[in-house]
Amino acid sequence: MKIVVIGCTGLIGTKLVQDLRKRGHDVLAPAPDTGVSTITREGLAKALDGAEVVVDVANAPVWGDETALEFLERSGRNLLAAGAAAGVRHHVALSIVGSERLPDCGYFRAKVAQESLIKASGIPYTIVRATQFYEFVGDIAQSAAPLDTLGKEIRLSPALIQPIASADVAAALAEVAVAPPVNGTVEVAGPEAMPLDELVRRFLRATQDTRKVVPDVHARYFGGLLSDRTLTPGENPRIGAIRFEDWLGRYQAKSCFAMQSPLLATAGADNSEALASSFATSYPGVVAFITVVAEGGFSKAADRLGITRSAVSRCIQKLEAQVGLRLLSRTTRSISLTREGEILHARCQPSVALITEAMEDLRDLRDGPPRGRLRVSASVGFGRKVVAPLLWAFQEKYPDIEIELHLGCVASDFTSDRIDVSFLNGRLADSRIVAKRIVPMQTLVCASPAYAVRRGMPESPDALMLHDCINVRLPSGRVYEWEFKVEGGLRKLTPPSRIMFNDDGLVLEAVLQGKGIAQLGGYLICDLLREGKLVHSMPQYAPDDQGHYICYLSRQHLPSRIRVFVDHMTAAIRALDLQCAGAFSPTPDDRQVALAPMVPLRGQ
């Protein structure tokens, strides 16, 4: 099933794309940086071509009344028009629980307008309304802090709210997307309801934010007054699995450095500086402080750090001002630690040493001999036939690199699957990865010599209808479409077949046994063509716009183990002769002698 996700780079969109791909669906993730815009309509029609489902989780850039309304209406109209033209069978959109109950909030009004456009479009639809996300609790706190008490207290309504984890929202959207449209609304909410002020209070307590939360029934929520019904779902909502306390525990773990740092905790408690500002002050100060103690003076510490003596002095003065304590006793002849300085040095010196050691190890990984673990992914067929046999030579050359090769029918996700390098075949649409084309990819119609003598070989795509074709069912559930270059364009067709597999290896085995014909990748059949075990036809119709690619996430700061692997495998695969269309092109006469011994190819 081809599913297009609009808003694929946001909090929900990234999770949704990963979820749907793991379920085996063909997911397109268009975005402005890939040349697709729902506002200007650039690239939109092409992105939706052949799509069965569209999921719209795009978010307006700001919550201002007019801006949000204009964005959601224009984006919605353009997307629905393109969807209708493309024959989309299910339009799914993410909205907000209680949007019609908070008319004083401009963003909620904009979501109501968006829902109205969807309902009037004529496209079968499902609107998924979600309660507020756990991930936005901090933003709620900031929006509710009065300017005259900034840094001291937050006033919030005690009305009930039933927040949900973004991961649960993405999972619900994935389930809705692959199910039939309900032409109505589905609500999703977290497993527990609680007063809004208590929700924020628990969040601030967990993040060591000392601001006081004051319950106030007149406090507005993004411009609107709340009741217990405003932000809570109706009857029988879908309930997420992740509890707030569990999510909060993971959130704390991710922020453990900031939460456990006594300097940052002090900064948060005693003044209103932002966390980032506190970190920028404390970390350079701690490094300067540790270096002064180790070198026995400011001048030697400055030489060690590569900065001026006055810069070292300023760093330590800022650190002392931040903690409100003197750390060093200075005289014209000596420097010594105060009692407070001794405590700080004992706590921080081991951590700074570990950080320094880690940075040196990383520099060594970048600039030293290649080593470490490399996780590589490829399709089953290409991985078995091409990639795996080449790994032994690579490992002999780089024995300190450990390789994990993961083969699958669905392309791996670099982030969630922790993949370093991926081999991909065909046409690539994701411009967010670096894709180096190794060699062109051929797809050829082939059969056994016995089949060619018995049934002949097709001379045009239309002639496939008269043959015993063997098809492949893709992980997405769709049947593979045979592709041909006809009059400068691409023609796709799915010929009828009596047998179908979900594995190219099984298709190839059936072809070798003379059971029928199939369109297969050249890398699978080149050797068999040269050996006379297969023949192929219609090379003039073979597509010429596909390739075999070696892919990775970024050119910047590329570890040496990835760099040498990419260079080695590119050279090794190019050295293989995977270009078989020009090497053997059977003529009608070939079919009559197909059972006779084949004449060796030139150079073989």
Q: Tell me the whole-structure pTM to 2 decimals.
A: 0.47
pLDDT of residue 183: 96
**Tokens found for residue 106:** 């401009």
Q: Do the domains at 278-367 and 443-543 have one common CATH topology?
A: no
Compute mean pLDDT per 10 residues along the chain, 604 residues long, and list them.
89 90 90 86 92 91 67 92 95 95 87 94 96 88 61 85 95 95 96 94 84 90 89 93 88 48 38 47 80 86 78 84 82 77 84 72 67 89 93 93 87 75 80 81 93 94 94 84 90 91 93 95 90 92 88 77 92 84 42 34 30
pLDDT at 357: 66
CATH 3.40.50.720 fits 2-132+161-192+223-242, yes or no: yes
Question: Which CATH number describes the domain made up of 443-543?
Answer: 3.40.190.290
Cβ neighbours of residue 179 closer than 8 Å, sequence gap 6 or more: 126
How far apart CA 232 and CA 170 sit, in angstroms, is: 19
From the candidate CATH numbers 3.30.390.50, 1.10.3720.10, 1.10.10.10, 1.10.300.10, the one assigned to the domain spanning 278-367: 1.10.10.10
CB 445 within 8 A of CB 584: no
- Residues 29-54, buried b or exposed e (16+ Cβ, 10 A)? bbbeebebbbeebebbeebbebbbbb
Fold of 372-440+548-576: D-Maltodextrin-Binding Protein; domain 2 (3.40.190)
The tokens describing 14, both together, are: 């990234």
Q: How many CA atoms lie within 13 A of 268 on its CB side?
A: 20
CB 573 within 8 A of CB 439: yes
Q: How much is the pLDDT for 265?
A: 38
CA separation for the pair 433, 420 (Å, rounded): 11
Instruction: Give the span between the Cα atoms of 95 and 107, in whole angstroms.
Output: 11
The CA distance from 336 to 331, in Å, is 9
Angstrom CA distances, 153 to 28, 137, 157, 159, 210, stand at 45, 15, 13, 18, 9
Q: What is the pLDDT of residue 520?
A: 93
- Which tokens hold the place of 125? 């639809």
Listed in sequence order, the DSSP H helices in 456-515 are: 504-512
Amino acid occupying residue 102: L
> How many Å apart are CA 353 and CA 58, to the nearest integer?
45
The total of other beta-carbon atoms located within 10 Å of residue 133's CB is 19
Nearest to 215 by CA among 160, 157, 161: 157
CA distance 316 to 523: 64
Residue type, 171: A
Domain ranges of the chain: 2-132+161-192+223-242, 278-367, 372-440+548-576, 443-543
d(CA 429, CA 416): 19
For residue 69, the model assigns a pLDDT of: 84
